[in-house]
């Protein structure tokens, strides 16, 4: 009996493409940025496993859920429709919502690093093939959305991969700078896994006028990190 395996193969390739995109081994330098977490350690706001869990949950609820995740979904939809105007709008929106120079620089530099990688793999958008044009100064989320669409990753899975990559990076920062033991990091993953699913449900339901991060503490910590005397990370 002949079985058509093409749909399964396609979904398998999409899953492998997502794993590749969020792998810590992806050579874009994400490990060099702490997204304000190093400041929280230095200022004494986060000193133990419980406080780290509370910090991460707060960033997830008030940051990613209201900013990166819903905008990632919109950007991927723009790429699917070759909507250059929409891409520019949401890329600029993300830049405008970066509250410190470091957070803005992180988004821009990671976006450029990912574009260099895509160029070397010949996976960059091609206008002559009907793709939308890259916005000026494409940020990381914008380029991430392009590759997710190019890999035919469903939007919900793109968001799952993005938030997983964020959590892994934050825990890697904590293991280096707090320090946090690897078993404690796994406990935090278990604690936050269901909350990440809820975050994605919420993010996908938000209207445009409901978007925008609410993280004054992270913004203040990040601003102080710019002049921190000794640091391991660039943000």
197-220: pLDDT as tens digits: 999 999 999 999 999 998 888 888
In a domain, 50, yes or no: yes
What's the total number of domains in the chain? 1
* pLDDT number for residue 189: 96
Confirm whether 233 is domain-assigned: no
Q: What distance in Å separates the CA atoms of residue 29 and residue 20, rounded to the nearest whole number? A: 15
Residue 172 lies in a domain: yes
Q: Could you tell me if residue 141 is inside a domain?
A: yes
Residue 133 belongs to some domain of the structure: yes
Cα–chain center distance at 232: 20
Q: Is residue 100 part of a domain?
A: yes
In a domain, 65, yes or no: yes
Provide the domain limits for residue 115: 46-220
Cβ distance 74 to 94 under 8 Å?
no
Distance CA 170, CA 57 (A): 12
pLDDT confidence of residue 17: 85
Confidence of residue 2 (pLDDT cuts 50, 70, 90): very low
Alpha-carbon span 146 to 152, nearest angstrom: 10
CA distance linking residue 24 with residue 20, whole number of Å: 9
Task: Please say if the pLDDT value at position 227 is more than 80.
Answer: no
pLDDT per residue as tens digits for the range 14-65: 888 888 888 888 888 877 878 888 888 888 999 999 999 999 999 999 999 9
Residue 124 forms part of a structural domain: yes
CB-hemisphere CA count at 13 Å for 198?
9
Q: What is the pLDDT of residues 174-188, one digit of tens each?
A: 988 888 899 999 999
Residue 91 sits in a domain of what CATH number?
A: 1.10.4190.10
Give the global pTM: 0.91
Which candidate, 118, 127, 94, 125, places its Cα nearest to that of 213? 94
């Amino acid at each position: 009996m002949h079985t058509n395996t093409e749909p399964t193969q396609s979904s398998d390739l999409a899953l492998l493409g997502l794993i590749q995109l969020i792998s810590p081994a992806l050579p874009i330098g994400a490990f060099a940025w702490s997204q304000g977490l190093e400041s929280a350690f230095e200022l004494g706001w986060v000193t133990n496993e419980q406080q780290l869990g509370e910090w991460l949950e707060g960033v997830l609820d008030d940051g990613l859920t209201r900013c990166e995740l819903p905008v990632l979904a919109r950007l991927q939809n723009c790429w699917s429709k070759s909507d250059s105007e929409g891409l520019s709008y949401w890329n600029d929106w993300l830049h405008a919502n970066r509250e410190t120079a470091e957070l803005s620089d992180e988004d821009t530099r990671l976006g450029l690093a990912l574009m260099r990688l895509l160029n070397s793999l010949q996976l960059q958008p091609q206008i002559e093939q009907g793709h939308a044009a890259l916005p000026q100064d494409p940020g990381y989320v914008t380029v991430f959305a392009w590759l997710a669409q190019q890999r035919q990753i469903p939007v919900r899975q793109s968001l799952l991969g993005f938030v997983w990559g964020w959590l892994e990076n934050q825990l890697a920062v904590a293991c280096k700078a707090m320090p946090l033991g690897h078993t404690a990091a796994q406990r935090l993953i278990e604690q936050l896994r269901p909350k990440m699913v809820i975050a994605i449900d919420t993010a996908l339901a938000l209207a445009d006028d409901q978007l925008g991060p609410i993280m004054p503490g992270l913004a203040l910590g990040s601003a102080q990190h710019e002049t921190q005397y000794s640091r391991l990370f660039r943000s």
